[in-house]
């Protein structure tokens, strides 16, 4: 069994603040981390490896610094790591990103692809399903459990109301929820070895895809404007009787489209 795990390096969005004067993102000092859902995906792959035996390859697309999360993946137990880095990949929206990853996957040998459900910097949850479509394989998203009997994958999918049990045979792609797979720590030996192992660095020429489908050029969506959310001003304080108070609250709830 060969498993390909897609991971992404993201800024830790819980540490991001907006500069109150310039209203722009303060990026300095914000740590970069392995996206939590992707780490859950890697954990699932490693548990599968522990139980059934598997070769786990991690792949990421990003700047050269993304090497760090691949080393982390080595230290957790991944066998092989690939870094897709090239100016031609830059500026990709979800479709162009999924094209690049699928293009890389076409040149690799795998049975199962695992991605995180979504990344905390974009929260789109689109790259996994789009990648599955390009590769013409089924996808199951919001995965909270996986079993395998040597032939059939049995998958637990989380939904709003509870969960579903789904089954498939053959190749497939799963998008994973982090809370379902609490990730292991890196082992000390693993950390030491992680820096002796080779991260394979691939440019756009290694990807099985036309360049017009990559990066900014291959992105149907364009960001035309970005802006900080307006900081709120404290509202008015009303000293009123109970009936007037109710009226004020009702009109506020209507203004906010709650009722």
> Which residue stretch of 40-48, 58-66, 194-202, 235-243 sits at the interface with other proteins (rule: CB under 8 A)?
235-243
160-197 per-residue burial string, b: 16 or more CB within 10 A, e: under 16 = eeeeeeeeeeeebbbbbbbebbebbebeeebeeebeee
Q: How far is the CB of 176 from other proteins (least distance, A)?
A: 13
- Number of shown-chain residues binding other proteins (CB under 8 A): 79
Examine residue 25 and tell whether it contacts other proteins (CB under 8 A): yes
Examine residue 231 and tell whether it contacts other proteins (CB under 8 A): no
Examine residue 182 and tell whether it contacts other proteins (CB under 8 A): no
Helix (H) / strand (E) element for 200: namely: strand 199-202
Residue 152, CB-side half-sphere exposure with 13 Å CA sphere: 6
Examine residue 220 and tell whether it contacts other proteins (CB under 8 A): yes
> Which residue stretch of 17-25, 31-39, 44-52, 105-113 sits at the interface with other proteins (rule: CB under 8 A)?
17-25
Distances (CA, A) of 165 to 3, 144, 155, 162: 21, 10, 6, 10
Tokens found for residue 202: 């691939």
Using CB under 8 A, which of 40, 41, 172, 215 touches other proteins?
A: 172
Give the Cβ contact number of residue 1 at 10 Å. 15
Q: One symbol per residue from 130 to 169: x for binding other proteins (CB under 8 A), - otherwise; what is it? A: x-xxx---xxxxx-----------x--xxxxxxxxxxxxx
User: Which CB, 192 or 240, lies closer to other proteins?
Assistant: 240
d(CA 228, CA 233): 15
Site for other proteins in 62-101 (CB under 8 A): 93-95, 98
């Amino acid at each position: 069994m060969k498993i390909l795990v897609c991971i992404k390096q993201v800024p830790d969005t819980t540490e991001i603040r907006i500069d109150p004067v310039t209203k722009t993102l303060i990026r300095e000092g914000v740590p970069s981390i392995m996206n939590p859902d992707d780490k859950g995906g890697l954990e699932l792959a490693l548990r599968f490896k522990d139980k059934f035996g598997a070769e786990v390859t991690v792949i990421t697309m990003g700047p050269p610094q993304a090497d760090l999360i691949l080393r982390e993946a080595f230290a957790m137990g991944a066998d092989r790591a690939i870094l897709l880095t090239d100016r031609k990949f830059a500026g990709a929206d979800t479709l162009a990103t999924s094209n690049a990853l699928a293009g890389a996957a076409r040149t690799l040998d795998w049975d199962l692809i695992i991605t995180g459900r979504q990344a905390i910097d974009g929260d789109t949850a689109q790259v996994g399903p789009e990648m599955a479509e390009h590769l013409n394989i089924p996808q199951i998203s919001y995965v909270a459990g996986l079993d395998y009997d040597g032939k059939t994958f049995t998958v637990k999918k989380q939904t709003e109301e509870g969960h579903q049990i789904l089954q498939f045979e053959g190749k497939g792609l799963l998008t994973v929820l982090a809370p379902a797979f609490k990730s292991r720590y890196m082992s000390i030996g693993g950390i030491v070895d992680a820096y002796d192992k080779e991260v394979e660095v691939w440019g756009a020429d290694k990807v099985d895809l036309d360049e017009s489908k990559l990066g900014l050029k291959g992105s149907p969506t364009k960001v035309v404007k970005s802006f900080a959310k307006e900081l709120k001003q404290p509202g008015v304080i009303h000293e009123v009787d109970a009936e007037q108070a109710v009226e004020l609250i009702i009109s506020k709830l209507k203004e906010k489209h709650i009722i």
